[in-house]
Amino acid sequence: MYGITNEDMEYIESKIEKQKQFLKNFSIDFADKSVNMLDNTYSANLNPKKYFAEINNRVNSLFDYAKDNGLRPVFVTLTAPSKYHKKDRFGNYIENPNDTAKALTQIWNKFTNLQVFQKMKKELNHGLVYFRVYEPHKSGVPHLHAMLFIPSKYILQVKKKYKDYFSSSKWGTNKKAIDFRYTWYKEKGGAVGYIMKYITKTFKDENSMKVEHAIYWYIKHKIRRFLSSRTLAPLTIYRKVRYYFKEHYENDFKTVTKMLKDGTIRREFNNTMICYRYYNHDIGEVDEVYLWSKNAESILNQKIPNYHATFKLKYQKKEIKKPLIAQVSEFEKYVFDDIQNAFLRLPVVPSRLSDYKLNKYYRLLDEMDIKDLDLVHFQIVKNEMIKRDLLNEEIISPNEFSIYEQTTERSALANVPLKFSIVEEFDYDVPYMPCDNDLNLTTNNSKRI
């Protein structure tokens, strides 16, 4: 049932037992008595009695809060669409239950953020009050039960939005898979009994021999049993101060929530202490009691941020020096090198030229005198033409031309008018001055001739 096997149950039971034994080995001394860590653990799996008692307290406190504010309870059920029930050829669900539960949570959050709820929250001056419980089908696919507390005048609007939203293409659930019911307040049963019925199913009955597969389903798929709105005081605070108020107030959770909102209970020193301020009738003055404080060693070892400190971000714009480029023609450009303090020729890369420019460049090289032509470079250009099907010849390796000695280092375009142009700035005439290598090469070639 619920997709839980005997192997799953044996593994989960052994894991829980090991965790219990681990916690039992640690104890805390309170005056004349010693308490082990297991007895002080709030866990549905390790200490279900303590955890269930706390949930029962939270449910009753939230119901009292809703009732005091004139809110009415409505119960809704939401089932996942058919795509979350599909299996693969091995019989496993394509979407595991944990992902399905997350999808239900996501669509629920989107629904409770609709305009009707925004208007309601603004009018009530507090957030939406609700409970949520996930429960598995017998197939193991989860569905959602929730109880909302809303004003009477909003019930029909919310019902219409609920039916329209979840039966539309946004979620894809048919109308039979969603439910919206009215319920009521009673001292016994009623809305409290309605939601507690689903919560009780998620806990193991120690007095019963019946195997509750649903208990193992929650543990295996890591799905939370019970969720509620953040209407009441945070559990991180309530669990620390409960010992002080549980003997004085019947509904201590609700009382702590009220005190936290009006500032009677407050957190101090970067949340390392919780202080309770009250009027002491014996001395006739306002007195303070520190209900909880963090371990001194932990406080010293932690890095406490300074929220009042300010700092400025210094931004310095990086200056990028643009190179000085001299352009003789379309295929002959020179860039000024600051290190060598001279203009250097920019090479022409055939593979980066368009078909039109490549063809034009090839024709210029082809018309040059072979004495002034760099044969290796010319063959690279020619091979690029062949690769692009602009020439119908065979590709020849440029290495075959390495036996030739070049007469000059000047390119095919060195015989053009020697007029430089600074791009987008100004033009000026630069006389051509042959370098030493050019003179040597010319002399050597003259000797050969």
Domain boundaries defined on the chain = 6-232, 233-296, 325-448
CA Rg, the chain, in Å? 41
Angle at 191 between CA 259 and CA 242, to 5 degrees: 25
Angle at 431 between CA 430 and CA 433, to 5 degrees: 120
Residues contacting residue 344 through CB under 8 Å, at least 6 positions apart: 334, 335, 336, 337
Give residue 427's pLDDT.
43
Give residue 190's pLDDT.
66
What the block records as the tokens of 191 is 């809305």
Does this model's pTM top 0.75? My answer is no
Give residue 428's pLDDT.
43
Angle at 74 between CA 69 and CA 76, to 5 degrees: 140
Establish how many alpha carbons lie within 13 A of residue 120's alpha carbon, considering only the half-sphere containing its beta carbon. Answer: 20
Mean pLDDT by runs of 10 across the 449 residues of the chain is 83 88 81 77 80 84 87 88 82 84 89 90 88 87 89 90 78 68 64 74 63 80 86 87 83 87 86 85 83 70 59 70 82 84 86 89 87 84 89 83 46 39 44 47 42
Dmax of the chain from CA atoms? Answer: 124
Give residue 209's pLDDT.
52
Give residue 424's pLDDT.
47
Distance CA 364, CA 386 (A): 17
**Strand blocks (E) in 137-171:** 142-150
Give residue 305's pLDDT.
58
